[in-house]
Amino acid sequence: MAIKIYLYPKISFMIFFFKFSINLYTSYIYLDILSAKKN
C-alpha cells in the first residue's frame, strides 16, 4: 500500500509530462508548417 502511494505521484507526473511534450511537439510541427506555407 505504501509503495502505491509512493509511486502514484511519479507515474501521474510522467503521464502529464508525456502528454505535455506531445502537445508541445505537435504545436511546433504545426507552426513549422504554417511558416512554410507563408514562405
pLDDT in tens, 12-30: 889 999 999 999 999 999 9
How far apart are the C-alpha atoms of 4 and 2, rounded to whole Å? 5
**Cα-only R_g, the chain:** 17
Cell representation of residue 14 = 510522467
C-alpha cell, 6: 509512493
Cell 502505491 sits on residue: 4
The three-state secondary structure class of 13 is helix
User: Tell me, what's the pLDDT at 3?
Assistant: 66
Q: To which residue does cell 507515474 refer?
A: 11
pTM over 0.85: no
Separation of CA 36 from chain center: 24
